[in-house]
Chain A
Amino acid sequence: MQGARAASAARAPGGASAPATPVGEPLLQLRAINKSFGSVRALSDITMEVPAGQVTALVGDNGAGKSTLIKAIAGIAPPDHGEIYWKGKPVRIHTPRDASALGIATVFQDLALCDNLDIVQNLYLGRERLRARTLDENTMELGAKQALADLSVVTVRSIRQLVASLSGGQRQAVAVAKAVMGNAELVIMDEPTAALGVTQTAQVLALIKRLAERGIAVLVISHNLRDVFEVADRIAVLYLGRLAGEGPIAEFDTQNTVEMITTGAATPRSAANSAAPSTDDAKDH
């Protein structure tokens, strides 16, 4: 399992693979984001960046502010203060529509799929293709086939099967395909591997890597550090609403990450740990 960490090292750094973003410019930058609920300060001075083509993991204990932060980016609960830069330009994200107009798609934990509809119908929900004012099922089916093939991680027997009959990993893939079909450049995923089995977790992690390979920025919330170290290129640790640490994955290991999550501060990383990733490049696919 740990071996796949090497995948991150093999990937091209920065946003170079995403044509829309200037080289060296992070896709999304947060500067001094603040959010309070009454007297409770949920987020204080969060400054971090999310580069294109990379997986950024957002970790932290319950109540650390992870969900508040992604809701701020997704336009569900805008921040009180602070600036958001998208491709280097300041933007305002006040509604979910603002976010999707920019190219930010959020896959929530509940996935928002209709169990009683099939995969094609779910992928095109709200943006059905029409021909002569009736549903153009064939065009949609071909498009859905292509969208799933692009992710090429999870297979389904037929894209005309009901979502209710899919496994957790397959459902996650459908939800992600749905998000990406709207030309998303940043996909936010909230606990994508929670409540999944071993096989399905592996499928979802492969899916996340695949997104990054396609030049999409992925911001993923996870409680599972093993998953985080397997897929993430960068880590941001939240502790009681402030950023306890942020940086490339090489600067972190399980031990100091856990310390940051629980205490908000970490002892410097030992030399022995930093040598570990280079040993298992072979396991990269």
Chain B
Amino acid sequence: MATAMPTLRRNWLVTMRAYQWTYFVGTLATGILTVGLAYLAYHSIGGGRAGGGFAAAAGTADYLGYVTVGAAASMFTVRMVLWVAKAQITEQREGTLESQVLAPARRLPYLVGVGLQSLTTTVVEVVVMLAFAVMIGVRLPAPDPVTLLAAFVAASVAVFGISVPLSAIMITAGEAHITQNTLFVAMGLLCGFTFPPAYLPDPLRWLGEALPVTSALRALRAATLDHAPLSAAAPDLLLCLALGLAYLIVGLRLLGPAERVAIQRGGSA
């Protein structure tokens, strides 16, 4: 707590003072335009219907609801990864990575602080995006609050988990732009944000299953579109949590050596 809360406070100050609109508009635009594209395609091309075995593959016939939940999850994922995975390379660029290594603060609470800050901002962005979706006529049938909460927690653990090894990769490579965007486009294809992964060839589908975001999405959709009770979503929730924690543990083990490489290399990233 001694590390997490001050980090949370510091990142809020940075956001409010320096980049308050850049990130907000950027994240929001991606979400709103994804839903907007689906909406226009659904009405002007699909004539208000979805075919191609969508209902069977997605487990719901509600194309717009499916894409909306995916777009919200995508905003959440991108934002969390951008903050948590880039936290340390940003410290390196700003010249404070050495101080961080010298300070008697542990990495996990530091990253949790960063994660909590991005969580609080993303909630605002996702709510604005969902308000837009409801305004254009997307309906999310009464979500099951318990399953939704559980799915939200599992998704947070999942995204936080994959961000930590990514942070290690970024400071080792001294590069963030390519790493993060490659992950984003790969997740966009593999995890089923905007279309059911069942459309993909099997090897790609399995690759998607290795990322906890895929099971998190299934759980989130079960809660928001299907009104699924906790027991029905449990397998996905457990899979998501297990994978997320596995990534987290591997990531924390990698951070130490990665910091050594980054500091030995010196210079700015």
To the question of whether A and B form a pair in one complex, the answer is no
